[in-house]
Structure 1
Amino acid sequence: MIVTAKQASSHCGGHPAMNSAKPTLPAQILSQTPSTSSITDRLWRHSLYNVLDQQPLDRVNVLGDNSHGHLSCVNTLSWTPDGQMLLSGGDDRTIWRMDPDYDVDYPFVCKSVIQTGHKANIFNAHLLPHSTRIVSVAGDNQVRVFEAAAALAHSQSEPETTYSIDQLDCRVLRCHTNRVKRIVTEDSPDLFLTVAEDGSVRQHDLRVSHTCGPGGSCPAPLIKCQHELSALALSPLSPYQFVVAGESPYGYLFDRRNTGRSFDEEWGSLPPTSGPSIATCVRRFGRKTKPRDDVYGTHITGARMSSHNGHEVLLSYSGDAVYLYSTRDNPQDEDEHHGSSIIPSSQEHRTDVIPIASDESHIDVQLAETNDNEASSPLQRATADQGDLDGSDSDDLTLDAMPWDDPSVPIILPRRRFAGAGNVETVKDVNFLGPEDEFVTSGSDDGNFFIWHKATGELHGIYEGDGSVVNVIEGHPFLPLIAISGIDSTVKLFAPVNHRSEFSRIDKQEDIIRSNSRGSGQLMTRGQLALIRAALSGQELSEGNPCNVQ
């Protein structure tokens, strides 16, 4: 389901703020928005968002309830560029649209529900820029494009309306062969990228028709990797570059500027449907890890590129932390931020293998040995690993290595590490917050979401955002308003308030970080289980090929 929502009065699933004190910023601000292209607008947004650093956040609304809203987990949230609508989608295979009402502070309410026709959970949904098209991707391997003009034009004065695929023009793309996880849009109503667990990233151009399926004419993917991909990021300031990640300890930076020419296409023939990748892998983003660590199970659950500067990259590692990189960093430089960047030879890539049990039912997870100099408190441990980024104890560290990675592609090491959140149970996204991306945020297995200062790595806040797990955090395009979703069937809105926050958990940070640290130490990923199953069945792990360069 895709739900489109606008800020609205507190009926139809919109709960009022949690106490009588009004939020700092009224919804009427939306009606005073200056031109999005003006310098005045940027200064205006910056002044509004400054309160995020000065005042605590609190929950100001809950979208949905037991009788209205999504029926299960909410996996995706997406604000429209003008901030007037919020799209949400989830396991119930519907998309919501929520809209604003300028008479009430902050509540958004569902105005349109789109029954997508997907046969599995929706993982992502976006409105294509300069259009009325909504794109969704799901676990049924499909990409669906809806001409949703009717749903988007639905009047606030009208009751909530559900639209079926029979009422909306729907185009189904079956180019991927496994679950499709993420969409990134460009400044175009026709172009967008998708990433899937089939290891491919595809560029879709809605102006060009083709036939999917066996014997079809799906264009060749931009890239094709030998492992699953699930995270994709692109910055509007550098749209020729994109970052992908998945079942590998690396994030990959690809460049579309050197795609070459196809004379057949220029003469009107259909593009090739197979062959090497089109984009070029120019950098890998990696970490230094202890030599005893088993990197075969390491994977990345979320990626984000800064929309403010175009070069900063966030990667969220399952069972570990969030790391900040820059595409501008020279992999051969050595400085105080990321220490020695000398890449060891392939002979120096070391991996300790966990002994394989003789019976799958008796698999034990080997926990890493405790360092003699381990920090004494959870807060110290959350920041102590910064030394690894600074090059200290470099003799005890090695770069993550996987057999399918091309050692000729340079590795960039992180500038900063943001720790404390738990990322084990589900797929956590990661994001920037603030008009200049001053903050970094991530959900957590404990139902909280964390906010850190990007410049220092200092923990800024911990807030309860879900009854179970927070997976998705999306900041409003210009207001200090944050939408949160996870395992609950509801969407929560957070904003700065001028009173004590009822949902802040920063006073319990020691206990929270300690608990999350214990959970991360017992992670066994799908990659590790696959290795164990392969060993038990007598199969050898195929080295495969690196992400092919086309």
Structure 2
Amino acid sequence: MTALSSYASTMRTRTDLLSHLYSKPLQRIQVLGVDPNGHSGSAQHTGCVNALSWAQNGELLLSGGDDTTVRIWRLDSTLSEDARPLSCVGLINTGHRANIFNAHMLPHSTRIATVAGDRQVRIFDIGDPPSGKDGEVEYNDARSHLLLCHKDRVKRLVTEESPDIFLTVSEDSSVRQHDLRRPHRCRGECPAPLVQMDHDLTSLSLSPLSPHQFVVAGGSPYGYLFDRRYLRARRFSTSFPNKELTTCTLLFSKPSRGRDDSITGVRMNASSSDEVIMAYSGDGVYRFSTLDTPAKDSFEPAISPSTSSEDVKSNPMDVDFYDPDEVPSNSYSNSNLNVGVVTSVQKYTGARNIETVKEVNFLGPRDEYVVAGSDDGNFFVWNKDDASIHGVYEGDGSVVNVIEGHPYLPLVATSGIDYTVKLFSPSFSDEPSLCDKTLHAEEIVAENTQARARLTHFQHLRLMRLFAAAHVANRDDADLDSDDEEVAMQCPNQ
């Protein structure tokens, strides 16, 4: 047997084993930042945890949120019985002035990228990741880059196989590609965005198997597939200074949609790249295939001029919400949108997605499962192929927003409104764990369905506006704007 075939056989065995483990029920094995007696420690966040991501090698977990810090958690390599799977080994005081929405370690580097509600993208170089032997390391001056290209809250970032290149999506309706090897002066010399839409964008995903493609979605019934291989011809005219660079190649839509529909999360399949899942606000999760033959859509989105950066209204908020009254026409600007529409091949129901902006994800070494959080504090695990409920687990005291599986171990991290991160792994016990609510799935689904029906359109708007008003009252727009200008003056380059 050759070395290559031996390696392939080993990987198949590992994948089969991991797949078998994920077929088991889950149990909660750790609450990060809380000691075994349930007491809060210094490593606990002091606000909601909006961001979770595993490093590519699986050794580190990053968490970030409303307290504007990023915590670095390392897998414990000891074999002692009292060892906890993860321990906090680092704390980054990011300097963000609003909630952190996403944080990722850039591959093949010691850099960490963060995006937040202050419209900023920040890069930190922590050097060799701390081992934890000397306790928690605090980083106060690790920032290496500050990017001010976006004009509104920056919601997500995605990485590719590069320590320098990554994408970000913002509520200023744009997707931007950043290359840390090419410094520029922000506020005037930022490269053109890859995408410029006419409505809020809040979610972004690409597959490592096809990084030239990415899916973006937000305040529209559609998910948009773009391909960076098809660069749009630039118009060398001052009339189009911010013209987007890429071309939309496919639209995704659930079979029945309305003007007020919006999408809170998208994810491309990491193991095959031809599947996309999208979570609709007030509805379920839908799965699509990029290989399906698109049909000409009966709904023709309006064509309108591209929104310039000067026309984008900057209104950073401290809470994720959608107001359908403020959703403009569902359009893709600056294009003759002659793009086919693919409808969903599967729907996953049971979870309630109304109160917050929730992500959606695949789980398992072959992406065998679909997972999403719920307003009832649970997260749902569905079998991908038939949409049956595989498990329901309590993941938060209020709402679960984020679920991230480990790259190669049977570990699942969740976060939401609580100030803690929960860690789950398969259970081999015949008795369900305290967090396992699968036996009550039928009642939970029924309650979620009734609760969704009770929340009428008017109540939905009122609730979202109350969320917004409560947070606006605690934020001074003038101070934020003046702080942005001060930072721009101090750091003209990336």
Asked if TM exceeds 0.5, the reply is yes
Name the residue aligned to 1:7. none
Question: Structure 1 residue 288: deviation in Å?
Answer: 2.0
Contact 1:220–1:273, Cα closer than 8 Å, also in 2? no
Distance in 1, Cα, partners of 2:439 & 2:385 = 22
In structure 2, the residue matched to 1:234 is 206
Cα distance in 2 between the residues matched to 1:60 and 1:47: 23
Identity %: 48
SS where residue 39 of structure 1 aligns?
helix
**Structure richer in strand, relative to its length:** 2
Aligned counterparts of 2:387 and 2:366: Cα–Cα separation in 1: 16
Aligned equivalent of 1:252: 224
Q: 1:76: how far off?
A: 0.8
SS in structure 1 of the partner of residue 440 of structure 2: helix
Correspondence for 1:115: 93
Is the CA contact 2:198–2:329 (under 8 Å) kept in the aligned structure 1?
A: no
Pairing partner for 2:451 from 519, 530, 543: 519
Provide the C-alpha distance between the structure 2 equivalents of 1:163 and 1:233, rounded to a whole number of angstroms.
Answer: 29
TM-superposed CA distance for 1:54, in Å, is: 3.6
Report the counterpart of residue 54 of structure 2 in structure 1: 79
Match of 1:155 among 108, 112, 131: 131
SS in 1 for 2:385: coil
Bigger shift: residues 410-419 or 168-177: 168-177
The 8 Å contact of residues 221 and 330 in structure 2, kept in 1 or not, is answered as: no
For the Cα contact (< 8 Å) 2:149–2:190, is it kept in 1? yes
Cα displacement (A) at 1:420: 0.4
Q: CA deviation at 1:330?
A: 0.4
Q: Which stretch of the first structure deviates more once superposed, 508-517 or 125-134?
A: 508-517
Select the residue among 220, 245, 250 that pairs with 1:283: 250
Q: Could you tell me the TM-score, scaled by structure 2's length?
A: 0.80
Q: Distance in 1 between matches of 2:184 and 2:239?
A: 12
Name the SS for the 1:257 alignment partner. strand
C-alpha distance 346-194 of structure 1, shift in aligned 2 (>3 A): closer
- Equivalent in the alignment of 2:156: 182
- 1:18 equivalent in structure 2: none
Are the aligned partners of 1:70 and 1:92 in contact in 2 as well (CA < 8 Å)? yes
The alignment's C-alpha RMSD in Å is: 2.8
Match of 1:281, as an amino acid?
A: C
Residue 474 (structure 2) aligns with: none
Residues 207-222 of structure 1: matches in 2 within 5 Å? 207-213=181-187, 216-222=188-194
- 2:359 is the alignment partner of 1:429: yes
SS at match of 1:89: strand
Q: Which amino acid aligns with 2:102?
A: N
- Matching residue of 2:265: 302
1:53 Cα shift? 4.4
> Which of residues 311, 326, 331 is equivalent to 1:404?
331
Deviation at 1:162, TM superposition (A): 1.4
Q: 1:523 to 1:225 in 2, by over 3 A?
A: farther
Q: Once the two structures are superposed, what CA deviation does each residue of 1:424-467 show, in whole Å capped at 9, x if it has no partner?
A: 01111000011110100001000100001111111100001111
How many aligned residue pairs are there?
A: 420
C-alpha separation in 1, matches of 2:172 and 2:118: 12
Give runs of aligned pairs for residues 39-50 of structure 1, distance below 5 A: 39-40=8-9, 42-50=11-19
Amino acid across the alignment from 2:442 = E
State whether residues 297 and 528 of structure 1, in contact with CA within 8 Å, keep that contact through their aligned partners in structure 2: no
**Do 1:45 and 1:479's aligned partners in 2 also have CA atoms closer than 8 Å?**
no
Please state if 1:134 is matched with 2:112: yes
Moved more, 84-93 or 105-114: 105-114
Distance in 1 (CA, whole Å) between partners of 2:271 and 2:214 is 15
SS of 1:109's equivalent? strand
- Deviations 1:237-293 (CA, angstroms, capped at 9, x unpaired): 1111100000001100111111157799xxxxxx9993321110111101222xxx7
**Closer/same/farther in 2, CA of residues 173 and 38 from structure 1, 3 Å limit:** farther
Partner SS for 2:444: helix
Q: Is the 8 A contact 1:249 1:402 kept in 2?
A: no
Aligned mate of 2:438, from 506, 514, 533: 506
Q: Give the aligned residue type for 2:267.
A: R
Q: 2:394 aligns with which of 459, 464, 472?
A: 464
Q: 1:245 to 1:438 in 2, by over 3 A?
A: same
CA change 1:170–1:101 in 2 (3 A) is same
Contact 2:121 2:148 in 1 (8 A): yes
Gaps of 5+ in 2: 35-39, 302-327, 466-494
